[in-house]
């Protein structure tokens, strides 16, 4: 199935493409900077999923409808609740650095999810809207995973 995008749809996808590229860069950079091995792995996992998102956006931009099988969601669900069995009590520089990385990536995920929300409403093709909605849900799951990590390690306290 060939997709014909109008200019607005193409522009929105180009924006999403740049957002995915930033997410990939951040997750890879943050995986290298994180001190906690669990957090490193979480960031690496999410970087790989962001690569899948980028590939999906590139397929749509090239006029092809991507096959969205259940593989991405299945992988995502395995990482949605990365809580440690014991809370990290350390308040040292390493813990603060990890907290800063988490705070930044959580803000990024909130922003990216919101931009997908806007884009979804602007597409004529229901299949593309569904595909973008699938990616948005995964972005929200990334945010949930980071939030759960932060909360379980005393980095995000709800008052």
Burial string for 28-38 (b: 16+ CB within 10 Å, else e) reads bebbeebbbeb
Mean pLDDT confidence for 21-41 = 97
**10 Å Cβ neighbour count for 17?**
17
In angstroms, rounded to a whole number, what is the distance separating the alpha carbons of residues 50 and 54?
A: 6
pTM of the shown model: 0.84
Q: What domains lie within the chain, and their CATH numbers?
A: 7-61+93-152 (1.20.1260.10)
Mean pLDDT of the chain: 87
Question: What pLDDT is recorded for position 67?
Answer: 78
Mean pLDDT confidence for 154-158 = 84
| Residues near 59 by beta carbon (within 8 Å), at least 6 away in sequence | 65, 66
């Amino acid at each position: 199935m060939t997709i014909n995008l109008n200019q607005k749809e193409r522009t929105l996808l180009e924006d999403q493409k740049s957002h995915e590229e930033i997410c990939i860069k951040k997750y890879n950079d943050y995986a290298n900077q994180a001190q906690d091995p669990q957090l490193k792995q979480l960031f690496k996992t999410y970087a790989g999923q962001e690569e899948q998102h980028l590939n999906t956006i590139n397929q749509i931009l090239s006029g092809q409808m991507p096959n969205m099988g259940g593989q991405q969601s299945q992988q995502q669900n395995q990482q949605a609740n990365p809580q440690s069995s014991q809370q990290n009590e350390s308040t040292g520089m390493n813990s603060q650095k990890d907290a800063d990385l988490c705070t930044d990536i959580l803000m990024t995920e909130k922003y990216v999810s919101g931009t997908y929300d806007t884009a979804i409403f602007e597409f004529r093709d229901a299949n593309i809207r569904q595909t973008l909605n699938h990616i948005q849900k995964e972005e929200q799951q990334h945010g949930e995973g980071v939030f759960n990590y932060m909360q379980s390690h005393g980095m995000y306290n709800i008052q």
